[in-house]
Chain A
Amino acid sequence: MVFVRPHTPFFNELFPCDLHTQSIGGGGRPVPDNRLLVPVAESSTLRQTVEYAVRTALEGTGSGYLEFVYVHSPEVSDERLGDQAEANIETVTALLDRITVWAEEDAGDNSKELTVESTHVGRDRYLFSPGDVGTALAAVANRNDIERMVLDPEYNPGVGSPLLRPLEVELTRLTDVPVEEAPVQRQVRRPPLLLRSSSIQAGALFFVSFMFYQVLAGTFGLFDLVTGAISGTIVAVSLSRITFNHDPSVSWIGRLARFVVFVPYLFWEILKANVLVAKVILQPGLPIEPRLTRVDTAVWGSLPVTTLANSITLTPGTLTVRVEGRSLMVHTLVPGAREDLFDGGLERAVRFVFYGRNAMSMPTPRERDDTTILQPRDESKSLESDGGPHSSGKTAGESGGDEQ
């Protein structure tokens, strides 16, 4: 029989791995050989990758161990998002169940030598870049003594655009575990789900670029319609894969509507703060008091963070210098702007746009103790301990760069 350990549904600590290596027949047997880790996500070549991984795990004389890991994408990974997160967990559970069944099928007669486990990570963290995903996978690999990793060539964990440094490079850098790509045939007929989703993306992009063309042309004549359709098709076919990470869905209409409400608010904030800064700049004495600060914001995902960072920059007196995950490094010009930033009005508004009215009632960054003033420099040293693993080290290293 195949030993299947069900994935644990909820994780609360950092990259938790409460999956123990349990081989069949109890504690007496040695740890099985051929220990493989396979990161999985919905992809057209997933089925073939599973098949290859099972074959590889069963090679040789020893028994095989297979671990399938699903890495959550940042947009839907937070429990505070309620229903959306729950729905996401169900989808992931279904996917992992399906993979387990596939692995059992492929193992066939040899199934008694194969241990299959599945887990998902990243629900409690916000994995933004291939580097973050690599770190999470490496943590799982280290704890379970993984010997090899098999990558699905079409694997895309939904973080960052496909133009970023690929995950494979990151994994090679982060672990000693050899990484190989599953030799799959890419030209296989795609599952209907993927075909449909990418055509939705292409359709949305076609619509946007076609309308843009018509606005620029302005006449809606036959010539414009035809040339617009041609260029819209070229744009949609060539660029739809790097324009959207996810399918545009119904929730986007709500977001768009709330964004329209957000714009006047943002404009009012801009106007208010601009008058404040104009007063400061036009004074002969130039009474500015610039400080570099860091705010760990309570928004998740690349688009919300981008919106927030840009809104912060647009509001005078505050300028986003660096973004690392949810942690923004903000340069503030005058104390008044700094107070506004720490009160988190914009942050609340961005949460309203992306997550709806319920998400607005969260403590301000000041109350959450997520704010730090990085200057003067000796203060920045003391924060190395309490910050995130990536950001604080880098920030301190750079702002204290003249020590060497």
Chain B
Amino acid sequence: MIEAARDGAIVAFVLLGLFFTFVSTAGVLRLPDIYSRAHTASQADTLGAGFTLAAVALAIGFETGSYKTVLLLFFIFITNPTAAHAISRAAEEQGIEPWTTDDDQTDEELYRDSKLETDGGDNE
């Protein structure tokens, strides 16, 4: 009985994890610019990884392995947003403009503009 409940929870967590990782992948592939991609990359992905690691921790049970999984979860929850912040800050400092709904430019064009700007800045 308890076994079945645990197995059910594991399967549910794995499915949730897969769903949110899928959302994150779809987001990174579909969204228009680096900033909005960083959203899904840091958040949906963190949650997806979190659910899947929770499933792994449940499956392993109370052994050292599950402590490691919890530790892993903790690291991912701290490092993923930090990395996303670092990446988007780097993009911002390079002068890449965020995409808005009024923009009809694609992100390649925005990126090219920022390139031109940065080059212009270097020549000064």
B106 within 8 A of A: no
Report A360-404 residues with CB < 8 Å from chain B CB.
375-376, 398-399, 401-402, 404
Highest count of chain B CB atoms <10 Å: which of A277, A321, A375: A321
Q: Across the interface, do B95 and A398 meet the contact criterion of CB distance under 8 Å?
A: yes
Q: Are A376 and B102 in contact (CB under 8 A)?
A: yes
Interface flag for A351 (CB, 8 Å): no
B23 neighbours in A (Cβ, 8 Å): 274, 277-278, 281-282
- Quick one: closest B residue to A310, CB to CB? B81
Structural contact, A281 and B43, CB atoms closer than 8 A: no
Q: Which residues 80-123 of B sit at the A interface, judged by CB distance below 8 A?
A: 80-82, 84-85, 88-89, 92-93, 95, 97-102, 113, 117, 120-121
In whole angstroms, what is the CA distance A314 to B100 when docked? 22
- Asked, given contacts A278-B23, A290-B33, whether A316 binds B100 with beta carbons under 8 Å apart, the answer is no
B40 touches A316 (CB 8 A): yes
* Contact yes or no, A215 B43, CB < 8 A: no
A322 CA / B86 CA spacing, docked (Å): 9
Residues of B within 8 A of A314 (CB): 42-43, 46, 77, 80-81
In the complex with contacts A289-B101, A319-B38, A282-B26 CB distance below 8 A = yes
B100: chain A residues at CB < 8 Å are 289-291, 375-376
The answer on a CB contact under 8 Å between B85 and A313 is yes
How many cross-chain pairs have Cβ atoms below 8 Å apart between A and B?
126
Q: Which residues of A contact B80 (CB under 8 A)?
A: 314
CB distance from A393 to the nearest CB of B (A): 15
Q: Which residues of B contact A289 (CB under 8 A)?
A: 100-101
CB distance from A223 to the nearest CB of B (A): 15
- Confirm or deny: A218 has a beta carbon within 8 angstroms of a beta carbon on chain B: yes
Partner of A274, one of B44, B102, B113, B121: B44
User: What is the bound-complex CA distance between A249 and B44, given in angstroms?
Assistant: 36
Q: Does B13 contact A (CB under 8 A)?
A: no
B96 to chain A, nearest CB (A): 10
Q: Contact at B84–A333, with CB atoms within 8 Å?
A: no
Interface contact A286-B30, CB-CB below 8 Å: yes
Within 8 A of B (CB), among A212-226: 215-216, 218-219
Question: A292 touches which one: B20, B89, B98, B120 (CB < 8 A)?
Answer: B98
How far apart are the CA atoms of A218 and B62 in the complex, in Å? 12
Q: How far, in whole Å, are A219 and B65 apart by their CA atoms in the complex?
A: 11
Q: Is the CB of A281 within 8 A of B98?
A: no
Q: Contacts of B6 on A, CB cut-off 8 Å?
A: none
Check if A216 sits within 8 Å of B68, measured CB to CB: yes
Smallest CB gap from A329: residue in B: B92
Alpha-carbon distance between A331 and B41 when the two chains are bound, in angstroms: 14
A108-132 vs B, CB cutoff 8 Å, 1 = contact: the mask equals 0000000000000000000000000
| B89 cross-chain contacts in A, Cβ below 8 A | 321-322
Binding site for B on A (CB under 8 A): 215-216, 218-219, 270-271, 273-274, 277-278, 281-282, 286, 288-292, 309-310, 313-322, 329, 331, 333, 375-376, 398-399, 401-402, 404
17 residue pairs bridging A and B, Cβ less than 8 Å apart: A218-B67, A219-B64, A273-B43, A281-B27, A281-B44, A289-B100, A290-B100, A292-B98, A314-B81, A315-B43, A316-B44, A321-B92, A331-B35, A331-B39, A331-B98, A376-B100, A399-B97
Given contacts A289-B101, A321-B85, 13 further A-B contacts (CB under 8 A): A215-B71, A219-B64, A277-B23, A281-B30, A286-B31, A290-B33, A290-B99, A290-B101, A291-B98, A291-B100, A314-B46, A316-B39, A319-B85
